[in-house]
Amino acid sequence: MAIFFSIHPDNPQLRLLKQAAQWLNDGGLVAVPTDSSYAVVARLDDKAAADGLRRLRGLDDRHHLTLICRDLAEIGHFARVDNKQYRLLKAATPGPWTFILEATREVPRRVSHPSRKTIGIRVPDHLVTLGLLDAVGAPLLSTTLIPQGEEEALNDAEIIQERYAHQLAAVIDAGACPQLPTTVIDLTGDEPAVMRHGRGDPATLGLA
């Protein structure tokens, strides 16, 4: 049965964040609020947990999982970023964006795209999620919490608790999130390409 944490959205309680971090360290999956919608996160170095993310969403290994980072400096350890890409990332982060980038060797091959060797990267603009990242001390692997067979992401922690009580280790409640997923931008080509329209407006980054 998933543990239910109520955490203040503006002043997250460090004690509770450390408890949630421990569930992740023990191999569990945790539902977390973000600036777009709820996501499910796991430790990057935990193969079983990563497999659990894919099972929960019904995803195959060709679907990009996303690495949630604390800041731009952390992104540089896990993705190859040139000067042009860096300027775009700096303008967009933190925020409701996911960027597809070439993965570095720090990213396990089992979680990058099997043929393209790419990874989704984002920095969320949400104090609870950033606090959890600090408590874990490392980026987290994530996927938007969209139930199998549905199109809309979940944004209510109590509904998530009811539907995934036996698949998650914990659910963090910090109030409702926006119900839109991130906007996904592929930066691996000659020009940025919008792959999914979500909460982030590409026009604010000068993209069509």
Domains and CATH numbers, the chain: 3-205 (3.90.870.10)
| pLDDT tens column, 124-142 | 999 999 999 999 999 999 9
Residue 180: predicted pLDDT = 85
Q: Which residue's entry shows tokens 């970023």?
A: 81
Distance CA 22, CA 18 (A): 6
Residue 178: predicted pLDDT = 84
Residue 33: predicted pLDDT = 95
Residue 177: predicted pLDDT = 87
The residues, any chain, with a CB within 8 Å of residue 84's CB and separated by 6 or more, are: none
Q: Is the dihedral of CA 198, 67, 167, 24 positive or negative?
A: negative
- pTM for the whole thing? 0.92
Distance CA 81, CA 32 (A): 27
What token pair was written down for 119?
């990874």
Backbone angles phi, psi at 98, to 5 degrees: -125, 130
Residue 115: predicted pLDDT = 66
Low-confidence spans in the chain with pLDDT less than 50: none
Distance CA 52, CA 104 (A): 23
Q: How many CB atoms lie within 10 A of CB 106?
A: 13
DSSP 16-42: HHHHHHHHHHTT--EEE--SSS-EEEE
Smallest CA-to-CA distance from 7 within 32, 38, 43 is with 32
Residue 66: predicted pLDDT = 92
| pLDDT tens column, 45-56 | 888 888 898 899
CB 93 within 8 A of CB 123: yes
Q: Is the dihedral of CA 149, 152, 153, 155 positive or negative?
A: negative
Distance CA 31, CA 164 (A): 9
Q: Which residues pair with 68 in a beta bridge?
A: 122, 140
Residue 64: predicted pLDDT = 73
